[in-house]
Each structure stands twice: as C-alpha cells, then as structure tokens.
C-alpha cells in the first residue's frame, strides 16, 4: 500500500505537455496531413476463420435462414439468443470481408489516411481452446496465426506490423514461453502481444502469469490488453438478454469495465512492481481507469486491511496508480470524444500526451448504410483528437502517429 505520508504523484490537471523528446516528422509532404498510425485494428486470418466455422459454441460462424452472409457470433452476451434467434435480427454480426481480407484492410487504411496499422487477432483469440486437455495443442494454431500476420506484413512493407497471439492455457505457461522467446527472432514485424483479461484462466494477477510477464519484459514486447467477456449478463437485465439493446451495453460498458478490473487487479497484486519494465497498452483509452484512478487510490489509502498489512510488513504497494499510469501503462485513443480523450491524457501524467496512441477498432463498428465509405466510428476518434488537441498541432500529430512510431519502434512512413 502506498505510504500515506508520501503524496502520490497526481497528474497535472489541464497542464500543457512539454515533451522533450524530438518529434518524429510524420506529416505527408504532399497532402500536409498527418500520417496516421492505427494501433488498434483487428483481423481474423484464414486459419482462425476455419476454426470458428468448425464450432457450435461461441465463438462461431453460423448462417441463419434469410441472411445471405454468415454471421460471426463472439460475445457471451449473445449466447441466450443463439438458441432462439430472431429471424429478422439473428445474433452476431455479418462476417464481411473487412474481418478477413487484407485488401479490404489496406483500402480502409487508404480511405482514412492511415499510413501504418499494427494488426492484431480480435477477441477471443485462442481462449476457447484452453479447455483442451493438452496445453501444447494451442501452440500450433498460435504459431500459424502469427505466421499469417507476418506474411501479411511482408506483403505491404512499411505499412503493417502486428501484435502476436499467445497460446495461453490454464494448465501451464510452458507452451506460451517458447513462443514468446522466439517471437522477436521469428517475426520481424511483431511489436508485442495481444492478450485478454483472462490470462491463463485466472486473470492477470495470477502468480502463474509471472513467467509470461517476465519473458515479455525481458524481450521488450508490450502487452496490448483487450477485453472480451464484458460483465455477466444479469447485470444488464432481461431486456438486454432478449437482445433489445443490441450490443450496446456489452460493448460500451461491459468491455471498458472488464479492462479496468483486469488492470486494477494487476496493480493491486504488485505485478507492475515486480516487472517494472513491462509495458501494458490498454484498449479503449484504459476502459474507465482514467476516471476511476483517483477513487482506486483513495480506496487503497483508506482500506483497513491493506493498511494493517503494510504496518505489519506483509506487503506494500510501492507506487501509486498514477505513477504506474505514467511509466508502464499506455492507452489507445479509442474513446470517441474529447472529454474521454482529455481524461486519458491527464490520467497519464504531465507528459500524458506522449502515452496515447490512435486506434480505430476496425473492422468493428462499420457504417450501417449501404454505400457509406467513410467509417463514422473512425471519424469520431479522429475528430476527438483534432478538436481536443488542435488540428495540426504537435500534440495531435503525436497521438495520431508519432507516439506509436516511437513506443512501438516502427519505421517512419
Ligand atoms: N471491438 C472488438 O474489438 N471486439 C468486439 O467484439 C467488439 C468490438
Ligand atoms: Zn478491439
């Protein structure tokens, strides 16, 4: 527990950033527009699609009568709808080529002025295989998917990188470790790993995760932490279970809360202190962490149990959540509005603007009207940065691309 005598390092509220590191020039000289780097952009490679097609529990791909496109059903909140699908609006979402085609990804990037994308497998990664009795059975699919991403990156030199997937299994870490160890050597374009909040099945405060964190820290492979499970269905009530609110409650509230809980558990268990060089990039602007960090800090400082534990020398959280936020945690800028964007920057410390990286969450949240080419969800994210930080400003350019280039060691476009 942080000492109550030591004032935790609060972020400077509303203070302009004063980054000392030299800016990487990422403006397109022809259009004078910033070259955007998208660090939150997913794909499902061919081998993964085949896996989903072979399944009859979620995640799965299924066709429904009257609907030409097969549907991708991923979310636990959709399970009740699978047994009784509405003929007009069955569960899931249409599996368009945006999920699977590299040409579609590149066309999307070109349309939205995105120079570089850091691809990742979308949720739920390989977690559904973790019930297999043999942990090593995850190794082959993980390897294959990472190879598929590396091949895609090689097809568009300078434009694509990726976060790899790990074969995490509740039984042990042994199958994950060889892959982590070989990641940098095998995959030239790999810039970290995407993992869910489950870890090896018991969350990210699980002592068994320490081996994985240690390897990632040693190899300087950042974790891109992404939600999938949301909150239990009962939280959202019967009407949500019947599908009345679409995916809104799960995605808008369940996802960010899940990320917040996962990273708070990591923090409370002392994982950040144990692995002080481990870098964790939080999806969706850190869930609700920027808004709740001060409350977490207050609850820690006023918790009788933690206070006693510290007094008795049985454990102490060495750094405040603010210190972790401005040293080991990075946030994506997938927040869709100025208010959230500014909160994310302020929560990330005096130099918080150096810690945010633009993302789109493509291919999720596509336009719904036929013929619409521009993705409104992307425009919202871009406008949040431009309005919040000033279009063309140094800060906007940092969040839109320069930060990612530095943090993830990408080549300048
Ligand atoms: N964004 C994601 O990354 N996954 C989903 O399932 C929905 C939105
Ligand atoms: Zn995502």
Q: What is the pLDDT of residue 412?
A: 81
Burial class (CB in 10 A: 0-12, 13-18, 19+), 290: buried
Residues with CB under 6 A from ligand 1: 42, 74, 122-123, 251, 361, 364
Tens of pLDDT, residues 65-80: 999 999 999 999 899 8
Look up residue 301 and give its two tokens: 């400082």
Q: What is the pLDDT of residue 15?
A: 35
CA distance 225 to 205: 13
Mean pLDDT of 375-393: 97
Of all protein residues, whose CA lies closest to atom 4 belonging to ligand 1? 123
Give the mean pLDDT of the chain. Answer: 92
Tens of pLDDT, residues 62-119: 999 999 999 999 999 899 889 889 888 899 999 999 999 999 999 999 999 999 999 9
Mean pLDDT of 325-331: 98
* Shortest-distance ligand to the CA of residue 76: 1
Q: What is the 3-state secondary structure (H, E, C) of the chain?
A: CCCCCCCCCCCCCCCCCCCCCCCCCCECCCCCCECEEEEEEEECCHHHHHHHHCCCCCCEEECCCCCCCCEEECCHHHHHHHCCCCCCCCCCEECCHHHCCHHHHHHHHHHCCEEEEEEEECCCCCHHHHHCCCHHHHHHHHHHHHHHHHHHHHHCCCCEEEEEECCCECCECCCHHHHHHHHHHHCCCEEEEEECCCECCCECCCHHHHHHHHHHHHCCCCEEECCCCCCCHHHHHHHHHCCCCCCHHHHHHHHHHHHHHHHHHHHHCCHHHHCCCCCEEECHHHCCHHHHHHHHHHHHHCCHHHHHHHHCCCCCCCCCHHHHHCCCEEEECCCCCHHHHHHHHHHCCCCHHHCEECCCCECCCCCCCCCCCCCHHHHHHHHHHHHHHCCCCHHHHHHHHHHHHHHCCCCCC
Of 243, 241, 238, 237, residue with least CA distance to 90? 243
Nearest atom of ligand 1 to the alpha carbon of 122:
3
Q: What is the pLDDT of residue 27?
A: 72
Look up residue 412 and give its two tokens: 């300048």
3: confidence class by pLDDT, cuts 50, 70, 90: very low
CB 100 within 8 A of CB 49: yes
23: confidence class by pLDDT, cuts 50, 70, 90: very low
* Shortest-distance ligand to the CA of residue 366: 1
Mutate to test the pocket of ligand 1, among 228, 253, 256, 363 (most ligand atoms within 8 A of CB): 228
Burial class (CB in 10 A: 0-12, 13-18, 19+), 366: middle
Q: Is the pLDDT of residue 172 over 90?
A: no
In the reported structure, the alpha carbon of residue 177 is separated from the centroid of ligand 1 by a whole-number distance in angstroms of 27
Tens of pLDDT, residues 271-284: 999 999 999 999 99
Of all protein residues, whose CA lies closest to atom 1 belonging to ligand 1? 364
* Shortest-distance ligand to the CA of residue 194: 2
In the reported structure, the alpha carbon of residue 202 is separated from the centroid of ligand 1 by a whole-number distance in angstroms of 22
Tens of pLDDT, residues 256-268: 999 999 999 999 9
Nearest atom of ligand 1 to the alpha carbon of 74:
6
Q: What is the pLDDT of residue 382?
A: 97
Q: Is the pLDDT of residue 175 over 90?
A: no
Mean pLDDT of 155-171: 96
413: confidence class by pLDDT, cuts 50, 70, 90: confident
Mutate to test the pocket of ligand 1, among 58, 364, 365, 366 (most ligand atoms within 8 A of CB): 364
Percent of the chain past pLDDT 70, that is, above it, reads: 93
pTM (2 decimals)? 0.93
Of 148, 222, 160, residue with least CA distance to 189? 160
2: confidence class by pLDDT, cuts 50, 70, 90: very low
CB 390 within 8 A of CB 69: no
Mutate to test the pocket of ligand 1, among 77, 78, 118, 123 (most ligand atoms within 8 A of CB): 123
Which domains are delineated in the chain? Answer: 36-46+100-407 (3.20.20.140)
Look up residue 299 and give its two tokens: 């609850």
47: confidence class by pLDDT, cuts 50, 70, 90: very high
26: confidence class by pLDDT, cuts 50, 70, 90: low
- Order across the sheet with 36-43: list the strands: 36-43, 114-121, 160-165, 190-195, 223-225, 280-282, 329-332, 356-357
Q: Which residue has the higher pLDDT, 188 or 22?
A: 188
Half-sphere exposure of 122 (CA within 13 A, CB side): 21
List CB-based neighbours of ion ligand 2 within 5 Å: 361
Q: What is the pLDDT of residue 22?
A: 40
In the reported structure, the alpha carbon of residue 123 is separated from the centroid of ligand 2 by a whole-number distance in angstroms of 7
């Amino acid at each position: 527990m942080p000492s109550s005598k030591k004032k935790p390092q609060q972020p400077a509220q509303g203070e302009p950033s004063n980054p000392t590191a030299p800016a990487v020039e990422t403006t397109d000289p022809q259009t004078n527009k910033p070259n955007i780097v998208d660090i939150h952009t997913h794909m499902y490679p061919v081998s993964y699609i085949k896996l989903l097609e072979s399944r009859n529990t979620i995640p799965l791909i299924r066709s429904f009568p009257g609907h030409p496109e097969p549907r991708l059903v991923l979310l636990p909140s959709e399970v009740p709808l699978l047994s009784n699908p509405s003929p007009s609006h069955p569960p899931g979402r249409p599996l368009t080529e945006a999920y699977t085609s590299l040409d579609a990804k590149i066309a999307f990037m070109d349309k939205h002025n995105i120079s570089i994308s850091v691809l990742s497998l979308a949720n739920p990664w390989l977690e559904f295989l973790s019930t297999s009795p043999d942990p090593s059975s995850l190794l082959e699919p993980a390897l294959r998917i990472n190879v598929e991403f590396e091949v895609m990156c090689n097809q568009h030199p300078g434009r694509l990188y990726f976060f790899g997937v790990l074969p995490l299994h509740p039984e042990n870490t042994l199958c994950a470790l060889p892959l982590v160890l070989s990641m940098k050597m095998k995959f030239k374009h790999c810039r970290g790993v995407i993992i869910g909040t489950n870890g090896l099945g018991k969350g990210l405060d699980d002592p068994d995760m320490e081996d994985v964190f240690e390897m990632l820290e040693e190899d300087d492979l950042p974790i891109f932490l992404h939600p999938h499970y949301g909150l239990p269905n009962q939280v959202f009530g019967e009407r949500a279970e019947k599908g009345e609110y679409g995916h809104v409650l799960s995605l808008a509230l369940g996802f960010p809360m899940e990320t917040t809980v996962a990273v708070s558990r990591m923090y409370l268990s002392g994982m950040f202190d144990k692995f002080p060089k481990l870098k964790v990039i939080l999806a969706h602007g850190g869930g609700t962490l920027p808004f709740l960090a001060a409350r977490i800090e207050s609850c820690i400082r006023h918790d009788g149990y933690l206070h006693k534990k510290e007094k008795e020398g049985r454990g102490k959280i060495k750094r405040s959540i603010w210190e972790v936020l401005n040293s080991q945690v990075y946030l994506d800028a997938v927040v869709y509005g100025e208010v959230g964007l500014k909160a994310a920057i302020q929560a990330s410390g005096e130099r918080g603007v150096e810690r945010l990286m633009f993302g789109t969450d493509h291919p999720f949240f596509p336009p719904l009207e036929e013929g619409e080419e521009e993705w409104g969800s992307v425009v919202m994210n871009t406008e949040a940065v431009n309005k919040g930080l000033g279009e063309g400003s140094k800060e906007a350019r940092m969040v839109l691309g320069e930060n990612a280039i530095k943090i993830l060691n990408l080549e300048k476009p």
